[in-house]
Amino acid sequence: MSDRSAKVSRKTLETQISVVLNLDGQGNSSFDTGIPFLEHMLEQIARHGSFDLTISATGDLDIDDHHTVEDIGITLGQAFNKALADKKGIMRYGHAYVPLDEALSRVVIDFSGRPGIEYRVKFSRPRIGQFDVDLIHEFFQGFVNHAPATLHIDNLAGQNAHHIAETMFKAFGRALRYAVSRDERMQGVIPSTKGSL
């Protein structure tokens, strides 16, 4: 079996990000980003996706979290793209429904090579602790642009903003896990009718 891991670094005027990813891991994770709530959400991706994931980031948090959150999404998308290489033999599509108490979210992903996001989420308040909930969309937008992938996220129920966010990230991890898993019947085949994604 080929190695499906990647190490990606990204440096801009505002941020410096490093991501180490193993698609065939056990859900181990380590984060140093300066944004505790985002780290909690990233842990859900690793645990529910069964990926080994290490992310370190420094950014202009003295201004706000925007650049750091977006650039982590971008770099994580680049890491998935690198780890998947030519995408031969993967399931390609993945979906998951995840509840948490009153909240329920659905995530559907396609590693299509065509970036796009449909994001239908309304939060009950603008912040979770100190974290601006608008940045969740920025994270996922950065990811799909650089994975590249098509992503649909729908929050179907929920009142508690933390619960809503957590169901989204858990469902994202579960959908990713299925989409990148190997289809033994399609070994060496790119999962597309065109022969390319």
pLDDT exceeds cutoff 50 at 1: no
For the residues of 81-142, what is the DSSP string, one character each? HHHHTT-TTB--EEEEEEEETTEEEEEEEE--SS-EEEEE---SSSEETTEETHHHHHHHHH
Q: Which of 106, 196, 102 is nearest to 153 (CA)?
A: 106
Domains and CATH numbers, the chain: 5-186 (3.30.230.40)
pLDDT band for position 2 (cuts 50, 70, 90):
low
Which residue's structure tokens are 């994001």? 119
At residue 68, the pLDDT reads: 97
- Distance, in Å, from the CA atom of 25 to the CA atom of 4, rounded to the nearest integer, reads 9
Q: Give, in degrees to the nearest 5, the angle at Cα 86 between 105 and 110.
A: 20
Q: What are 73-129's pLDDT values in tens digits?
A: 999 999 999 999 999 999 999 999 999 999 999 999 999 999 999 999 999 999 999
Q: How many helices and strands (H and E) does the chain possess?
A: 4, 10
